[in-house]
Amino acid sequence: MNSKTSKDATETTAKANHQCLKVLPFANEQDFKDAKRGFIAPMPNNGIINNSKGETVWDMNRFSFINEDAKSPDTVNPSLWRQSQLLMKGGLYKVVDGIYQVRNADISNMVIIEGKDGIIIADPLLSKEVASAALELYYQHRPKKPVVAVIHSHSHADHWGGVRGVVSEDDVQSGKVKIYAPEGFMEAAGAENILAGNAMNRRAQYMYGSLLPPTPKGQVGAGLGMTVSTGNVTLIPPTNLITKTGQRENIDGLDFEFLLAPDTEAPAEMHWYIEQFKAVTAAENCVHTMHNIYTLRGAKIRDPLAWSKYLDETMAMWGNKAEVMYGFHHWPVWGKDRVLEMLKTARDGYRYINDQTLRLANHGYTMVEIGEMIELPQKLAQHWSIRPYYGSMSHNAKATYVKYLGWFDANPANLNVLPPVKASKKYVEFMGGADAILKKAKTDYDKGEYRWVAEVVNHLVFADPNNQAALQLQADVLEQLGYQSENGTWRNFYLTGAQELRKGVNPIKGSTTTTPDSIKALTLDMFFDYMGVRLNGPKASDKKITINFNFTDTKEKYVLRLINGVLNHRSNTQAKNANATITMTRIDLNRWILGEITIDEEIKTGAVKINGKMEVLGELLALMDTFDTWFNIVTP
- Does residue 1 surpass a pLDDT of 90? no
Position 513 scores a pLDDT of: 64
Strands (E), 56-189: 56-59, 91-96, 99-103, 110-114, 119-122, 147-151, 178-182
Q: Does 211 fall in a domain?
A: yes
Residues spanned by the domain of 480 = 424-484
Q: What is the CATH number of the domain that holds 602?
A: 3.30.1050.10
Q: Which of 376, 396, 416 delimits the end of a domain? A: 396
Same-domain check for residues 477 and 563: no
- Does residue 324 surpass a pLDDT of 50? yes
Inter-residue contact 227 to 218 (CB < 8 Å): no
- Taking only the tens place, the pLDDT of each residue in 264-310 is 999 999 999 999 999 999 999 999 999 999 999 998 999 999 999 99
Q: Does 418 fall in a domain?
A: no
Same-domain check for residues 22 and 146: yes
Global pTM exceeds 0.85: yes
Inter-residue contact 152 to 123 (CB < 8 Å): yes
Q: Does 504 fall in a domain?
A: no
Q: What is the CATH number of the domain that holds 437?
A: 1.25.40.880
Same-domain check for residues 342 and 441: no
Tell me the H-state helices in 535-593. 537-540, 586-593
Same-domain check for residues 446 and 374: no
Same-domain check for residues 388 and 453: no
- Does residue 519 surpass a pLDDT of 90? no
pLDDT band at residue 132 using 50, 70 and 90 as cut-offs: very high
Same-domain check for residues 290 and 432: no
Name the β-bridge partners of 22: none
Inter-residue contact 210 to 630 (CB < 8 Å): no
Q: Does 507 fall in a domain?
A: no
Same-domain check for residues 363 and 459: no
- Per-residue pLDDT, averaged over 572-590, amounts to 95
Same-domain check for residues 527 and 474: no
Same-domain check for residues 304 and 239: yes
Position 189 scores a pLDDT of: 87
CA distances (Å), origin 128, targets 131, 134, 135: 5, 10, 11
Q: Does 500 fall in a domain?
A: no
Q: What is the CATH number of the domain that holds 192?
A: 3.60.15.30
Q: Does 632 fall in a domain?
A: no
Same-domain check for residues 466 and 384: no
Same-domain check for residues 215 and 320: yes
Same-domain check for residues 150 and 42: yes
Q: Does 99 fall in a domain?
A: yes
CA distances (Å), origin 238, targets 2, 151, 579: 53, 9, 38
